[in-house]
């Protein structure tokens, strides 16, 4: 672990203590993305352990250099590997302007959702209107998937992309595969060591094919600069 992050571990303990068991608190070390979780409290929320990889949101932030002018992002949608809905926030740790770590708080929304459902049912029974139609969705909010391993993360992302395209992995055309690799690259997945063999296995193709797609993408990016 980066020695500069050790001083934040008591702060992780402090947040976990005051927020309670319904909120998971995680310290990420960005010098080792494959095992970025160096401290975690109330990990029954996501069932992750110390040594778990960076999330897709962490990779996206690093890949796109997002939020350079912000100290934190708050109240975005998170999701565990078991599809548990979370309300998440992230604090950026910088040393001399360089982003070296993050402290993330993930609050399980199930209790709140259950309470909202009870209130909605009561309101509906009196007003005969469905308040669910009044929900507002902010498409500009971040989202995050909390995974236990590189394999699980890449599998989730590939599945998400193929479902959006309505195509099964077994029937992907070459242009489909290139588009998926481009999307994974944009999300920062290839910042993880060992991502290429995992993705090749999931997409049922060779590692050399993945590297070939990446070379095509690099040439495309170079031609745009």
Answer yes or no: are the C-beta atoms of 81 and 146 closer than 8 Å.
yes
Which letter does DSSP use for residue 42 in this model? Answer: S
The whole-number average pLDDT for the span 61-77 is 88
User: What was the pLDDT predicted at 153?
Assistant: 81
Q: Let me know: does 162 contact 177? Beta carbons within 8 Å.
A: no
- Reported as a pLDDT band with limits 50, 70 and 90, residue 109 is confident
Instruction: List, for residues 3-20, the tens digit of each pLDDT value.
Output: 999 999 999 999 999 999
CB-side exposure of 155: number of CA atoms within 13 Å? 10
Tens of pLDDT along 158-213? 888 888 878 788 888 888 889 889 988 988 889 988 889 989 998 888 999 999 99
């Amino acid at each position: 672990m980066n020695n500069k992050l050790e001083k934040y571990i008591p702060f992780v303990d402090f947040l976990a203590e005051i927020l309670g068991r319904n909120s998971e608190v995680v310290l990420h070390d960005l010098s080792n993305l494959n095992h970025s979780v160096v401290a975690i409290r109330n990990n029954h929320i996501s069932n992750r352990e110390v040594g778990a990889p960076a999330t897709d949101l962490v990779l996206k932030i690093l890949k796109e250099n997002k939020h350079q002018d912000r100290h934190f992002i708050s109240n975005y949608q998170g999701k565990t590997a078991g599809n548990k809905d979370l309300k998440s926030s992230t604090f950026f740790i910088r040393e001399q302007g360089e982003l070296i770590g993050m402290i993330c708080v993930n609050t399980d929304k199930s209790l709140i959702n259950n309470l909202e459902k009870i209130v909605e049912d009561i309101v509906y029974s009196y007003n005969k209107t469905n308040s669910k139609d009044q929900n507002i969705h902010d498409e500009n909010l971040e989202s995050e998937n909390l995974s236990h391993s590189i394999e699980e993360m890449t599998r989730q992302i590939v599945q998400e992309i193929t479902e959006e395209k309505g195509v099964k992995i077994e029937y992907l055309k070459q242009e489909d595969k290139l588009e998926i690799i481009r999307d994974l690259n944009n999300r920062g997945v290839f910042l993880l060591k060992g991502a290429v063999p995992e993705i090749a296995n999931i997409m049922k193709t060779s590692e050399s094919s993945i590297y070939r797609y990446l070379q095509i993408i690099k040439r495309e990016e170079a031609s745009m600069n």
